[in-house]
Structure 1
Amino acid sequence: MAITASLSLLPRADGSATFKSGLTAVVASVSGPMEVKARDELPDKTFIEVIVRPAVGVGGTRERALESRLLAALSPLIILTHHPRTLLQINIQIVEAADHTDAIALLPVCINAATLALIDAGTPLKSVLVATTVLLDAEGQVVGEKVKGGSRHVLGFVRDGKCVFVESMGAFDEKAFGNAVQKGMSECALDAGDAMEVDGAETVGMVIRHAVEKKVGLDMRWRE
């Protein structure tokens, strides 16, 4: 599955990024810190707002559920006390998807795009969150595509390899989940020594690492 990522696409946003995995592509933008409505103002931390827009039509219940999951994944990543009484808005635009009704498939792509946009915006972060989907068959073994009787797991890892986000669907036991975590950890590793190519293709962690390194390289050109 081809994976690509890039930063700084939208000149009017404080930070922006695109992330594409297979047939699913998402553009994320970050605005803020900025003025917050009085009803949302928090005296000791930043108020986070996540907005998801579908590729076609108007957002509904599915998008609201996706916003809730993204907020749960991204809020612990951000150092909220740096800019109290302000708003940080994260906008997710779904550009294309193999199945627009499949939130499990959309979720890791949205997480990765949002993380990159937060990095691009210079938002103070505790770590970098990388997410992937792991598919298991009915016996709990990792497979390359969805199979009948299997399970799917969206797993998010921070830089030290700790799994901090899980969203699962299907039937599985503890051993099967362990297999999913091990696979997810290798897919999301950011350190070059831990990351391994799969069938000649870069992992999610490698793609995100290279996108950030490219961004840093461009930003540091003034030193030359």
Structure 2
Amino acid sequence: MAISATLSLLPRADGSATFKCGLTSAIASVSGPMEVRPRDELPDKTFIEVIVRPAVGVGGTHERALESLLLSALSPLIIRTHHPRTLLQINVQIVEAADHTDATALLPVAINAASLALVDAGVPLRSLLVATTVGLDEQGGVMRGEGEGGRAQVGKEGSRHVLGFARGECVFVESLGTFDEQGFANALLWGREECAMDGGGAEGMGVDGKCKAETVGAVVRRAVERKVAADMRWKE
């Protein structure tokens, strides 16, 4: 499955990024810190607002649910005490999706796009969040085919897990379906490999010992490296 990421594509935003995984892609922009509405002002930290816009039509309950999940995933990673009494606005535009109601496919793409946009905007972060979707079959095994949102295929009769990793630790989980402890452990192992940013090269060894395609973590790392290289050109 083709995975790609690009930073700094919206000139009027403080930070922006696009992330594409298979048939699902999203553009995220970050604005701020900026003036906050009096009713939202926090005396000791930044107020964070997340807005999700669908690819077609106006936002509804699915977009509101995505906004809540994105806020819970990204907020702990942002050092909010650096800019108290201000607003940090994160906008996510869904560009295309195979299923506009499937949060397990949309959520990891939106998380990765928003994380990269925060990096592009220079927002102080504790770590970078990288997310993927892992699908399990009825027996708790990882579906090895290509699926939306991540490397592992989504099992129709099993469960789906959106996993977010920061510094190698799982810090965000959103699951759908029925699964046991061993199945979830399998999903964690696969997700950690998929989101690792310290792998070497475009290809790596999967948890089953077989060579697999470029991971989400590798794509995110390369996008950040391009951003750093572009910012440091003034030294040349």
- TM-score when scaled to structure 2? 0.92
| Structure 1 residue ranges without an equivalent (≥5) | none
Corresponding position: 1:120 with 2:132: no
Which residue of structure 2 aligns with residue 18 of structure 1? 18
Which residue of structure 2 aligns with residue 205 of structure 1? 217
Which residue of structure 2 aligns with residue 135 of structure 1? 135
C-alpha separation between the residues in 2 aligned to 1:156 and 1:81?
A: 23
The answer to whether the Cα contact below 8 Å between 1:28 and 1:90 also exists between their aligned partners in 2 is: yes
1:192 to 196, 199, 205: 199
Secondary structure of 1:142 counterpart: coil
Distance apart, 1:196 and its partner CA:
2.4
Secondary structure of 2:116 counterpart: helix
Which residue of structure 2 aligns with residue 163 of structure 1? 170
2:228 to 185, 206, 216: 216
TM alignment of 1:1-224, pairs within 5 A: 1-143=1-143, 144=145, 145-159=153-167, 161-192=168-199, 196=204, 200-224=212-236
What root-mean-square deviation, in Å, do the aligned CA atoms of Structure 1 and Structure 2 show?
1.4
TM-aligned CA distance change 1:88 to 1:102, over 3 Å = same
Distance apart, 1:86 and its partner CA:
0.1
Distance apart, 1:117 and its partner CA:
0.1
Alignment coverage as a number of residue pairs: 223
AA of the residue aligned to 2:85: R
C-alpha separation between the residues in 2 aligned to 1:110 and 1:148?
A: 22
Query: C-alpha offsets along residues 30-88 of structure 1, whole Å, 9 cap, x if unaligned?
Result: 00000000000000000000000000000011100100000000000100000000000
The answer to whether the Cα contact below 8 Å between 2:204 and 2:212 also exists between their aligned partners in 1 is: no
C-alpha separation between the residues in 1 aligned to 2:131 and 2:34?
A: 28
| Structure 2 residue ranges without an equivalent (≥5) | 146-152
Distance apart, 1:200 and its partner CA:
4.8
AA of the residue aligned to 1:146: V
Query: C-alpha offsets along residues 80-133 of structure 1, whole Å, 9 cap, x if unaligned?
Result: 000000000000000000100111110000000000000000000000100000
Distance apart, 1:197 and its partner CA:
5.8
C-alpha separation between the residues in 2 aligned to 1:217 and 1:125?
A: 19
The answer to whether the Cα contact below 8 Å between 1:197 and 1:203 also exists between their aligned partners in 2 is: no
AA of the residue aligned to 1:135: G
- TM-score when scaled to structure 1? 0.97
